[in-house]
Amino acid sequence: MAMDDLVARILSQRQLVPKTRSQLVAVSGIDGSGKGYVTRQIVARLAQQSVATASINVDGWLNLPQKRFNPNMPAENFYRQAIRFEDLFAKLLLPLRDARSVHLIADFAEESAHTYCSHTYSFKNIDVVLVEGIFLFKRDYRKLFDLKIWVDCSFSTALARALRRNQEGLSPVATIRAFDTIYFPAQRIHFEKDQPRESADLIVDNDPDPYFASTPLKEIVTRQSLAL
């Protein structure tokens, strides 16, 4: 789906939501799918139309490493414990959705941090709340969104992007190991339990490079490691 068509759908669906509350829109996909890029594009286009938008990344609601990582069952534990979803919805997303405004000082987690820091969320008179992150379409939470957008991307492309951006400061070998043993297996659990792509209202194809889309993951890993 083209970005302009995507934004038009958001605006059209906003008309079905009571004006007394915000529209709650989820942007989800696998790790490295480009969720942040898509969200930024949506925010920019909504701003051009004077739509008051709040953009919230769930990464700030990560559990600390000692809870979200477990070497004995790395994928299953990450799927269940990566994000503090109950707190995220109860303290931030639902109050903001229902009142269109919120002021909250919350525990915030950087990806590599071992302690929380304080972060202030302050929004007022918001029309659209964009929530970006992994696992948003778990069965318990997806029903809370007015619109669900899935950013479609192959595992090969996602890993290549992760190696290029080096977001967590890991070596290429450590990045490959983390995606191979934790992040991608956790996403496969998500696919099996929740069918996130099938449950989405809209799908954005963010895998434009046919090489990454069609090349086996092992070959991508080898070439990216050598390049880095």
Query: What are the structure tokens assigned to 136, written together?
Result: 């948003």
Burial 25-52 (b: 16+ CB within 10 A, else e): bbbbbbbbbbbbebbebbbebbeeeebe
pLDDT at 85 over 90: yes
Q: Determine the average pLDDT of the residues in 128-140.
A: 98
| Helices assigned H by DSSP within the chain | 3-14, 35-48, 65-68, 74-81, 85-87, 94-99, 139-142, 155-165, 172-178, 184-194, 196-199, 210-214, 217-227
Whether residue 58 has pLDDT greater than 70 = yes
**What mean pLDDT, rounded, does the chain reach?**
91
How far apart (Å, rounded) are the C-alpha atoms in residues 147 and 130?
10
Question: What pLDDT is recorded for position 24?
Answer: 98
Residue-level pLDDT at 167: 61
Report the CATH number of the 3-154+197-209 domain: 3.40.50.300
What is the structure's pLDDT at 207? 87
Q: pLDDT at residue 226 above 80?
A: no
The domain locations on the chain are 3-154+197-209
- In this structure, of 64-68, 78-82, 99-103, 222-226, the range with the lowest mean pLDDT score is 222-226
Contacts of 31 (CB under 8 A, 6+ apart): 134, 158, 162, 179, 183, 184, 187
Mean pLDDT for 190-214 is 83
Q: How confident is the model at residue 209 (pLDDT cuts 50, 70, 90)?
A: low
The pTM (predicted TM-score) of the whole model is: 0.89
Position 129 scores a pLDDT of: 98
pLDDT in tens, 149-184: 999 999 999 999 989 887 667 789 999 999 999 999
